[in-house]
Structure formats: C-alpha cells, structure tokens
Amino acid sequence: MNIERLGLLLHKTDTAFKKELDQELDKLKLTHTDLAILMDLYQQKIVGSEQSRTMSIIASRLGVEIKPFEEKIKRLDENDWIVLIHDQVDRRRVDIFLSSKARSIIEYLQEIYKYVEGHAYKGFSEEEIQQTEALLRRIEENLKG
C-alpha cells in the first residue's frame, strides 16, 4: 500500500480546485481565500450571527492562521470588499462586515464557485457526488477524532 496515496491525492485535488477558482476570480482581483472570507461573512449574515464577525473567530472558523489572515483582511478592506467597525466599548474589538460592493456581487461569486465545482464533478451522477462528499466528510471526521 502506498502511504502517500490519500494525502497526496487530497493535496493535488485541493491545489487544482483552488488554482481553477483563482483563475475565475482573478478578473475581480480576488483569490480563493478571499472568497472563503466573503462567503463566511455572507453565511453569518444569513444565520443572524452578529457576535461572530471578529477576525480571530472568522480565522478559526476557516481554519487559517491569524497572521496571514490579517493581511487578507487588510487587503479586502483596502479594496472595499469589507467594512471594519470598531466596537464602541472595546476599541480592540473590530467587527467585519460585507461592503455594499461585496453584497452586490455575492450571487455572482456563488455562480463562480458553482461553475468550478461543476467542472470538478464533470461526468459524475448526483449519487456519485453525494457519495464522494459523504466519504470525504467521514475521512475528515476520522482525522479530527
């Protein structure tokens, strides 16, 4: 048995998916990481979770290190994709919100993601897609265990 089989396959698949996503997002000057941040903020708005919009909590939810995440947030803010609001009581706390620019194209961003996902699943039946996702979730749970 090749011990690198699973890890290498997941790594190559992840890299290929992110590369294609980055190519599609390039026209907006965004990356797959930027998309993950924007979609996380959008999802939190949907569920009404106002208290979970700080940098450290979002970074934790996305499973990324805080230092490079801070750079991403700074760049997204400079390019008007997000709005940073300092808490009135605790000035150290900064809440992050989608800007009107980001809100205006959120559906387009979702379409880009669906397009790349569709390309990845080309030739798969709906049953195969569900099976693949279920197996990947099981692997993730096994490794978290």
Do 100 and 112 share a domain, yes or no? no
Total structural domains within the chain: 2
Residue type, 129: I
Do 115 and 134 share a domain, yes or no? yes
Do 39 and 91 share a domain, yes or no? yes
pLDDT tens-digit readout, 20-40? 999 999 999 999 999 999 999
Q: What is the mean pLDDT of residues 94-108?
A: 93
Q: How confident is the model at residue 47 (pLDDT cuts 50, 70, 90)?
A: low
Contact 98, 82 (CB under 8 A): yes
Q: pTM value?
A: 0.85
Contact 56, 70 (CB under 8 A): no
Contact 42, 106 (CB under 8 A): yes
Do 21 and 50 share a domain, yes or no? no
Q: How confident is the model at residue 49 (pLDDT cuts 50, 70, 90)?
A: low
Do 39 and 99 share a domain, yes or no? yes
Containing structural domain, residue 16: 1-30+106-145
CATH number at residue 73: 1.10.10.10
Residue type, 35: L
Please state, rounded to an integer, the average pLDDT across all residues of the chain: 90
